Chain A
C-alpha cells in the first residue's frame, strides 16, 4: 500500500516527536550510566573521558557507605522474610477458612496500612518503638516495615489464593494428606508466584525508603544506603557528584538483579487452573 504525501509527512512528524520525548527521558538514564565512570562528573551529561573506576574505588574505600549497603540488605531481607511468611499464612487462612467477616478484616487492615506507613504515623511509631526499647536497631526498621506492608501483601496474596481452586488441597487431603501436608506439598508451590510478587514488591519498598530508617535509627553503623547517600554531600550542602553517581548505581543494582532473577526463574507468570 502506498502512503499519500500528507500521511507520509504526518508519520515523519510523529516519529520525530516520539524520538524527542524518548530522548528527554533517556538523558537522565544516560547520565546515570555515564557519570559513575567519569572522574570529573557534573550535573550535565558528558561522555566519560577517560572511562574510569576511580569513583567506585572511593566509594568502596568509604567504610560507612559499604556498611550502609550491608544494612540495607539486612533490613530489606529481614522485612521481606517476615512479610512474605506472615502474609502467606494469613492470606491462606483468610482465603480458605470460613471465618465470618473475613472480607472486612482485610479491607480494614488495608485502610490502616496506608496510615501506618504514611508520614502521619511517624510520631506514634517513634513512640511505640522507643517504648519497646528498639530505637537504633535493625529490628525496629524491620518490624515497622512488616507492619506497614503486611496488609497490602495479605490483600494481594488473598486475591491470588482465592483464584486458585480449592480442589488442589481437597484432592491432596482425599489422597491421604493432612491439612499441613496439603499446604506444603500442593498449595504452597502453586501460590509461590504470588509470594514472589509480594517479596519483590516488599524488597523494593524497604530498599528504597528513607523516612522510617532516618527516624528510627541513630548511629552511623545502622543506617541503610538510602540514608547514607546523604553523606556524599559536602559541608556546604552541595552534592559530591562523582561519588553520588557511583553509589547510586551500586545502590540500584540489587533491585535490578532481583527483577532479572525473578523474571528468569518465575517469569512473573502464574500457574492457572487446569480447566480451560
Chain B
C-alpha cells in the first residue's frame, strides 16, 4: 500500500480543461471517493493515477515517487473498469490470473491463487466458464478478483457498480466496505452516486468542472458542505436551498423570504464578511431536518403541497412556494395531505446552513473557516 499525491495536475484535451490545477493527497490505507456529476473529470483523474493518461502539467506521486511519466505496468496498481474489461477468449481462471501470468508465475501458482481469490468472492465454482457465460454480478466480481489477485500499491475503481441492479449494488458495496476495512487498502474510487461515496469513503473529493470543491470525510461533507454545489450534490434528496435577503439589526441577523418565518440568528465574523459582499444569501436546510409545524410558528417555511411520496418508513413531502421554487422534507408520517393544501415545515435553527452570494459556506463562530 502506498500514498498518492496530485501536485497542480492539469489535463487538457485540445483547448478543453478536463482537470484544472488539482492538488490533493491520499494517505496510505485511505479509501478516497472522487464524487461529482458527469463530465467533471473523475475518470480522467483516475486514469492519470493509472498512467493511462498523462497530465498536461503537474505531477502524480505514488508512495512519494514521481510516477508522472511511468508506464501503467511500472506503477504496481490494480484497476477495476466500469465495463469490467474481462478478456472474452479466456475463462475466468485465466482472466483472474492474467496479472500473475504477466509476472511470469507458473500455471499451477496462477491457478491456485486465482482459485483462492475466486473462492473469497464466491465465484470459485465458475472458473472454467467464459465471461459471456456468467451473470453481470459475477462478471463484476471476476473483475474485482483480477484486481485483488496480486498485491498492489493502489487500487483504482471506475464506477465498478454502475452496471449492477440496485440489490446487487448494495451487496457489492457492503463487500467492498468489508474488504477495505479488512485489507486497509489504499483505494481511489470514482462514482457519481453520493450514497456509494458516503458508504465507502474515508474521505470524499467532490469535483465540479475539473476542480475539487471539497475534500473531507463523508460526515464533514454532509454536515458542513463547502458550497451550495456540494450541498446540492450530497444527500438524498439533496439539501433545500432558499435564496434569502439578509438584514442586520439588534446585533442579530434577520433573513427574509416569501413564506419564511425565522428568528434572529447570532452574528458572526463570517456573516459580517459575507454581508460586505451583498445582501443576497442562500439558506440551506436538509430534508431530514424538516418536519410538519404549525402555521406561523417561528423557524418555519410554508407553501402548497406539490407531491407526497410514500417511501415505506418515511414520506417525501414536497411543497411549492409562491415563487415556484420547491422544498422537500423527509417526514415520518402517513398523514394524508391534499394537493395544493397549505403546508408549513419547521426546522431547528441549529440545522440552518448559510451560503454567501457566491454560494460559499459561511462558517459559524467556532466552526473552522474553510
How long is the Cα–Cα vector from A216 to B87 in the complex, in angstroms?
A: 45
Question: Are B81 and A170 neighbours in the complex by a CB distance under 8 Å?
Answer: yes
Q: Mark B67-93, 1 if CB is under 8 A from A, else 0.
A: 000011101011101111111110000
Within 8 A of B (CB), among A134-193: 165, 167-168, 170-178, 181, 185-186, 189-190
Q: Mark B292-310, 1 if CB is under 8 A from A, else 0.
A: 0000000000000000000
Question: Are A174 and B50 neighbours in the complex by a CB distance under 8 Å?
Answer: yes
Question: Are A186 and B99 neighbours in the complex by a CB distance under 8 Å?
Answer: no
Within 8 A of B (CB), among A94-151: none
Partner of A174, one of B52, B89, B101, B132: B52
Interface residues contributed by chain B, number (CB under 8 Å): 32
Question: Are A175 and B98 neighbours in the complex by a CB distance under 8 Å?
Answer: yes
- Check if A8 is an interface residue, CB within 8 A of chain B: no
Partner of A167, one of B73, B81, B102: B81
Task: Tell me the minimal C-beta distance from A20 to chain B in angstroms.
Answer: 45
- Check if A267 is an interface residue, CB within 8 A of chain B: no
Known contacts A185-B98, A186-B87, A189-B87; decide if A173 and B71 are in contact (CB<8 Å).
Answer: yes
Question: Which residues does chain A contribute within 8 Å of B50, judged by CB atoms?
Answer: 170, 174
Question: Which residues does chain A contribute within 8 Å of B73, judged by CB atoms?
Answer: 173-178
How long is the Cα–Cα vector from A258 to B338 in the complex, in angstroms?
A: 74
Known contacts A274-B83, A274-B139; decide if A175 and B89 are in contact (CB<8 Å).
Answer: no
Question: Which residues does chain A contribute within 8 Å of B146, judged by CB atoms?
Answer: 171, 175
Question: Are A174 and B79 neighbours in the complex by a CB distance under 8 Å?
Answer: yes
- Check if B160 is an interface residue, CB within 8 A of chain A: no
Question: Which residues does chain B contribute within 8 Å of A170, judged by CB atoms?
Answer: 50, 52, 72, 79, 81, 85
Partner of B88, one of A167, A173, A178, A190: A190
Residue ID in chain A nearest B143 by CB atoms: A171
Question: Which residues does chain B contribute within 8 Å of A273, judged by CB atoms?
Answer: 83
- Check if A271 is an interface residue, CB within 8 A of chain B: yes
How long is the Cα–Cα vector from A174 to B146 in the complex, in angstroms?
A: 11
How long is the Cα–Cα vector from A47 to B78 in the complex, in angstroms?
A: 69
Known contacts A170-B52, A174-B52; decide if A276 and B87 are in contact (CB<8 Å).
Answer: no
Task: Tell me the minimal C-beta distance from A88 to chain B in angstroms.
Answer: 16
How long is the Cα–Cα vector from A274 to B86 in the complex, in angstroms?
A: 7
- Check if B163 is an interface residue, CB within 8 A of chain A: yes
- Check if B218 is an interface residue, CB within 8 A of chain A: no
Residue ID in chain A nearest B75 by CB atoms: A174
- Check if B29 is an interface residue, CB within 8 A of chain A: no
- Check if A275 is an interface residue, CB within 8 A of chain B: yes
Question: Are A271 and B88 neighbours in the complex by a CB distance under 8 Å?
Answer: yes
Known contacts A174-B79, A175-B102, A185-B98; decide if A165 and B85 are in contact (CB<8 Å).
Answer: yes
Residue ID in chain B nearest A164 by CB atoms: B88
Partner of B78, one of A167, A173, A175: A175
Question: Which residues does chain A contribute within 8 Å of B98, judged by CB atoms?
Answer: 172, 175, 177, 185
Closest 3 CB pairs of A and B: A175-B99, A167-B85, A171-B85
Residues of B within 8 A of A (CB): 50-52, 71-73, 75, 77-79, 81-89, 98-99, 101-103, 131-132, 136, 139, 146, 150, 156, 163
User: Known contacts A172-B98, A173-B71; can you find 17 more A-B pairs with CB under 8 A?
Assistant: A165-B83, A168-B85, A170-B50, A171-B79, A171-B85, A172-B87, A172-B102, A174-B75, A174-B78, A174-B156, A176-B99, A185-B87, A185-B98, A185-B101, A190-B87, A273-B83, A276-B163
